[in-house]
Amino acid sequence: MTSPSTTEQTGTQASGWKLAGFALLFILLSAGGTWAIWHQFADNNFSFDDRLLSAAFLIAAVVLLGIYFAADGLRLHFTLRALGHSLPIGQIFRLVFINIFFSNVTPMATGGGFAQIWYLQRKGVPVGTATAATTIRTVLAIAFIFSVTPICLLWLDALKGQPLLGEVSGLLALFIALYLGFFAIVLLRTRWLIGPLSTLIDLLHRIHVINEPRRRRWQFGMKREMVRFARSFAIYIRGPRRDVLLSVVFTLAFLISLFSFPALLMTALGYDVDYLTVIGLLFVTTFIMYFAPTPGASGISEGVFGSFFSTLVSANHLVLVTVAWRFLTIYLGMIIGLVLMQRELASSLRTSQVESGQRNQTGKPGSGMTDDPTQTS
């Protein structure tokens, strides 16, 4: 009979091949998007500017990266604290980079949420609480982006006459309403989702995708985690005001630092930068990226950025600014996240092998996850 550790290793290898495929797709689409900028918006011009290698720029970039990564970690840290959990800050910051990697190699950033929940569960956070923490963390950022984007679309001069927005403005308004409505249900009326999810599980059973024992387990697990999630969000709202406030403050700091990289690049290249215009353009760019079906919005993000900034940056600098922006905000974090994720997977596999050996020796199952401490008795 196949041992659990062998099964997990096989599953890990299969997942690794899938991730490799998504990563390759990410690289190809990013290259395609960059080529489209070079061909369509930069008039086939490109030149490297060694001002991006100056000591002043490199120091400023390191400082801004520090603020960006720190704010990203601290917004999750204080969300967890508001939920009654706390992890060592080193584990939080490892999760920052793991999330960057998975969010950008899976379509519509879906893998980032699952990776965060998996990681937090491994560190002792119950699934329901981990789901609530990552969802609240995402919703806070979405609330800022979706609130500011309509203002930018209406009043930002740099966006007037953009053919891309003129064609999809109606769809953007619809997406804003649907997205906000969905997350309002997730946060405020979580139990409304139990019925549709229960129907979906029953459908999977009827078409023989899952068997009866698994159907019962999934039904029980889904209802339990939905209840825990709803309870966890209520705990967050009633949590320590300092932690709740800081989770919001660091979310805003994260977004502002993230959106400041193009301004830093343009300043280093000698442009007269309208900071509010750059921030506004990045709000709209990020909003569009939320709906991109490609891994990490690759290809689409480059194209949208190039279209928006083609009037602010000269043709020979447009590709350079685009690639440097993506490198600082995405590629660098992905590389670090890939290394950290490999270490986490190796550690998880070793732990599984040790527990499997202990079960074989004692004939007893390993200890499971403790119950959710946020659950009232």
Q: Which residue type occupies 57?
A: F
Left, alpha or beta for 260 (phi > 0: left; psi -120 to 50: alpha)?
alpha
Among 41, 31, 25, 126, CA closest to 317: 41
In the chain, the largest separation of any two C-alpha atoms, in whole Å, equals: 71
Look at 155 and 337; give whichever has higher pLDDT: 337
Q: Is the pLDDT of residue 203 over 50?
A: yes
Tell me how crowded residue 130 is: count the other CB atoms within 10 A of its CB. 28
The C-alpha atoms of residue 97 and residue 314 are separated, in whole angstroms, by: 33
Q: Are 87 and 80 in contact (CB under 8 A)?
A: yes
Is residue 99 pLDDT above 70, yes or no? yes
* pLDDT band for position 182 (cuts 50, 70, 90): confident
Q: Return the pLDDT at 374.
A: 41
Span 300-319, mean pLDDT?
89
> End-to-end distance of the chain based on CA atoms, in angstroms?
41
Task: Give the pLDDT band (50/70/90) at residue 13.
Answer: low
Q: Determine what percent of the chain falls in helix, strand and coil, rounding each to the nearest 5.
A: 80, 0, 20
Residues 251-269 as b/e (b if ≥16 CB within 10 A, e otherwise) read bebbbebbbbbbbbbbbbb
Q: Decide which of 162 and 270 is more confident.
A: 270
Residue 7 has pLDDT above 60, yes or no: no
pLDDT of residue 367: 42
Higher pLDDT, 371 or 334: 334
Task: Report if pTM > 0.85.
Answer: no
DSSP letter for 372, please: P
> Percentage of residues in the chain with pLDDT exceeding 90?
31
Tens-digit pLDDT profile for residues 234-290: 888 888 999 999 999 999 999 999 999 999 999 999 999 999 999 999 999 998 888
How buried is residue 335: exposed, middle or buried, by Cβ count under 10 Å (0-12/13-18/19+)? middle
- Residue 299 pLDDT level (bands cut at 50, 70, 90): confident
Mean of per-residue pLDDT scores for the chain: 81
The C-alpha angle 8, 103, 290, rounded to 5 degrees, equals 140
3-state secondary structure 180-247: HHHHHHHHHCHHHHHHHHHHHHHHHHHCCCCCHHHHHHHHHHHHHHHHHHHHHHHHHHCCCHHHHHHH
- 105: which 2 tokens? 């190699």
Highest mean pLDDT pick, 3-17, 173-187, 317-331, 336-350: 317-331
Q: Mean pLDDT throughout 80-103?
A: 90
In the predicted structure, residue 11 carries a pLDDT above the cut 60: no
What is the spatial distance between Cα 262 and Cα 288, in angstroms, rounded to a whole number?
17
Minimum mean pLDDT range among 9-23, 128-142, 224-238:
9-23
Backbone phi, psi, residue 293, to 5°: -80, -10
The whole-number pLDDT of residue 375 equals: 44
Residue 333 has pLDDT above 80, yes or no: yes
Supply the pLDDT for residue 376.
Answer: 40
Residue of 1 and 257 predicted with greater confidence: 257
